[in-house]
Structure 1
């Protein structure tokens, strides 16, 4: 079964030949309807993407520098302002269970 790239090449050769689809297809050994369909399909999908010719060189590896998520953004504390006017500042890496207890205590109306 011919690939999309092969059909793109066939359609291109047909269009350059100046022959009718019937004559070109008969000469090449396939049906004229296939030429018409592939021409329509290739035009509908946009310009063909040509693949570069295969390289005979061995692949080269480039150096890689791994960047952690923490180094992308400077960690800043989170501030939680409670309705009673108290503010709780939470640094990155906090323990969620401890934060829950602290917020419960800070939300109380009694003085700390």
Structure 2
């Protein structure tokens, strides 16, 4: 997938997350909210179900390798790093900061 396609998918996902959050706060029915915002109800339903299946929070925080290393040094426990591309990295106590930075670079997370 090209960078342009990834960016378009990210923007589309953000657009629908925003509308789902606004609809849930509005107190309106799905159909009424969609009418007021020029949306198709079936698309709102599709994205609502997609996010529900993913069971992911609406936003992710970007964490630098330095922040992860500081967390590891302060907690002395393992850290599970879930990446939206489907990877999960378990980082044990004492994991090398240099190795972590290299792993994140390979996964293009930095």
Calculate the TM-score normalised by the size of structure 2.
0.43
Calculate the TM-score normalised by the size of structure 1.
0.42
The structure that is helix-richer by fraction is 2
Larger CA Rg, structure 1 vs 2: 1
